[in-house]
């Protein structure tokens, strides 16, 4: 099948059909330079918050009842790692790899909007996972919090830390091997 035109993450309107075609590798997704600029500007805002030490929920404070607990500049990276690890409590059979690819497509698109403060290398690594079929293994059961998506999303991102597992070339391997 010939691939259709390029989809631009963070810019184009994402429909269910487009998301599936991206997840199934029937369409290529890219991020344009203008979008990378917005992403970088958003990341710089987060970095300024960290550098100044002004309290902003979830960046340099605890969560929930710990929202008044300050996190030092040095510990903000540790906080992010600990959040991922503490939320990766899923169990059961993994979701179908196509569902995990679809999850990646949706997260890449939403992060490419430029509102989250994500770093360029992190977003590029998510794109790499999708483009190279190194798909995170996401358990089918379990969640944390009211939104119901924290555990699956934590598992989706564990390989960014060299943790969790990915489905790669027909086998489940440790995230640290990528």
Active-site annotation holder among 8, 9, 57, 115: 57
Our answer to whether residue 57 is catalytic in this structure is yes
3-state SS track over the chain: CCCCCCEECCCCCCCHHHHHHHHCCCCCEECCHHHHHHHHHHHHHHHHHHHHCCCCCCCCECCHHHCCCECCHHHHHHHHHHHHHHHCCCEEEECCHHHHHHHHHHHHHHHCCCCCCCCHHHHHHHHHHHHCCCEECCEEECCCCCCCCHHHHHHHHHHHHCCCEEEECCEEEEHHHC
Active site residues: 57
């Amino acid at each position: 099948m010939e691939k259709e035109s390029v989809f631009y993450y963070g810019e184009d309107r994402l429909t269910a059909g487009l998301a599936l075609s991206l997840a199934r590798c029937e369409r290529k997704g890219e991020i344009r330079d203008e979008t990378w600029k917005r992403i970088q500007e958003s990341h710089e805002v987060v970095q300024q918050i960290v550098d100044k030490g002004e309290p902003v929920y979830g960046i340099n404070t605890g969560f929930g009842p710990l929202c008044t607990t300050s996190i030092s500049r040095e510990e903000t990276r540790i906080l992010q790692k600990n959040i991922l690890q503490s939320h990766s409590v899923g169990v059961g059979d993994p979701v179908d790899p196509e569902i995990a690819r679809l999850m990646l497509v949706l997260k890449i698109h939403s992060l490419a909007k430029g509102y989250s403060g994500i770093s360029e290398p992190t977003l590029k690594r998510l794109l790499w996972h999708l483009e190279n079929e190194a798909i995170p293994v996401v358990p089918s059961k379990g969640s944390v919090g009211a939104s119901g998506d924290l555990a699956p999303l934590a598992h989706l991102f564990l390989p960014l830390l060299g943790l969790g597992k990915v489905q790669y070339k027909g086998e489940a391997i440790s995230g640290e091997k990528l």
